[in-house]
Amino acid sequence: MNISQPAWFQQAIASTRTSRHLDVSGCAIYRQTWGDKRNPGLVLLHGNGAHAHWWDFIAPFFAEEFFVVAFDLSGMGDSDHREAYTPDSYADEVAAVVAQEGFTGKPLLIGHSFGARVVFKALQKYPEEFAGVIMVDAPFHPPDHKFEFHKRREKPVKPHRVYRSLVEAKERFRLFPEQPCANDYIVDYIATHSIRETPEGWSWKFDPKIYSRFDFEGLLSTRPRASDKLLAMIYGQHSSLYTESVRRYNEELFRSLGLPAPICLADAYHHLLLDQPLAFVEVLKRVLQESSFG
C-alpha cells in the first residue's frame, strides 16, 4: 500500500482548527471548527460508523469564507455512546450543536451517506433553523421500496474485536459499502481515526449497539418536498447506491419538485470524498456560489 501523502493533503490536515466536546442531552459530542465565527456557517456530517475526521482534508478549503463545523454523532468517533439511537435523536443533535455554536445567521448542512439523511431529517424537523442542505450520495427511494435492515436487527450485538496493535487493526479497516479507492493515504488517515486504544488492545470507536434497534427504514423513507431547501444532491458515477433505476427515479423526483438536478461526480464511488476530494471541493464551491449562500 502506498500511503505517501501529497502536499495538498498534508497542508489541509495541518490547517488550524479547534476541537472540544459539547454536552448534548447528557452526551459529550466531539466537534471541530475551522475559520472565523463571524462568517456564514457550514456544518459537515459524516456517514454511518464514520467520524468528523472524514472532513479534515475538505473543510480547510472553505475556511476563508465560512465558519466550518464537523462533529461526531453520538455512538461514533470521539463522541460518547448512548443507550439508544433514533433518527429523531440524531436530528436533535444536529440542531443542538448548531444552537451551541451560535452561528452568524442560519448555517448550511452538508452530509454524506447516512449523515446526509440525518441532516435532511434535521431540516424537515427544524426548517427554520437552517439555510438548507446538500446531500452527498444518499438517494431517495420510491414509496414502495423494500428496505432489508431487519436481518441486522435479528442478530445479537457482539462486542468489537480487539487487536494487538494499531497496525493490525488498520489492516482490518474496510469501507462500507465496500469499494475500491485509489487514494490509500486518505483511507489510512481515516482508518487511524476510526480506532482507539483500550486496556485490552486496539478496537473500533463506533458503538455496535447502534445497529441493533435503529429505525433505518424510518430515516431512509423520508422524501423531499418542494418547500425543502435542498440545494444539491451529489453522487458518485460508480456509486453502488445509484443503480440505473435509482438514478432515474431521483432525476424525475427532483424535476417534479422543481429542485436542482442531481450532480454526478465522475470517476467516484459512494465514498466520493475519498475518491475525488479535490473535484468534490470544486463541485461544492460551485453549488455554494450558484445558490448565493454566504
pLDDT per residue rounded down to tens, the chain (294 residues):
557 999 999 999 999 999 999 999 999 999 999 999 999 999 999 999 999 999 999 999 999 999 999 999 999 999 999 999 999 999 999 999 999 999 999 999 999 999 999 999 999 999 999 999 999 999 999 888 887 754 555 567 888 999 999 999 999 999 999 999 999 999 999 999 999 999 999 999 999 999 888 998 889 988 999 999 999 999 999 999 999 999 999 999 999 999 999 999 999 999 999 999 999 999 999 999 999 987
Q: What pTM was computed for the model?
A: 0.96
> By the 8 A CB rule, do 58 and 277 touch?
yes
Q: Distance (Å, rounded) from C-alpha 33 to C-alpha 48? A: 21
Number of alpha helices (DSSP H) and beta strands (DSSP E) in the chain: 11, 10
Domains and CATH numbers, the chain: 10-159+214-291 (3.40.50.1820)
SS3 (DSSP) at 149: coil
Within the chain, where are the H helices? 7-13, 87-101, 114-125, 150-154, 166-171, 184-192, 210-213, 216-220, 244-257, 272-275, 277-291
Q: Distance (Å, rounded) from C-alpha 147 to C-alpha 216? A: 8
